Amino acid sequence: MARFTSGGVSKATANTVAAMRRSAERRRCPKCGRGSALKFHSDEYGFGSYCRWPDCDYERITLRE
C-alpha cells in the first residue's frame, strides 16, 4: 500500500484510497448490502463466496464434481 507522511502521520495516497473503495464495493453483499462483507471459500468439495456477518446467511457455493 502506497503511503506518505504528512505532519508526522502516515496516510494512504489518493490512488490507494480509491483502490480500497473499489475493492470494498466489489465485495459488497447483495443480501445485506454491507461493503467488504464477501469472503471467498475453496476446498475439495466446492468454492464460492459467503457473507462474513453472522446475521446474514448469504452464500453462493459451486460444488465440484
C-alpha–C-alpha distance, residues 16 and 53, integer Å = 26
Q: What is the pLDDT of residue 13?
A: 87
Q: Rounded to two decimals, what is the model's pTM? A: 0.71
Q: What is the pLDDT of residue 1?
A: 64
What is the chain's pLDDT, residue by residue, as a tens digit (65 residues)? 677 777 777 888 889 899 999 999 999 999 999 999 999 999 999 999 999 999 999 999 999 98
Nine-digit cell string for 40: 471467498
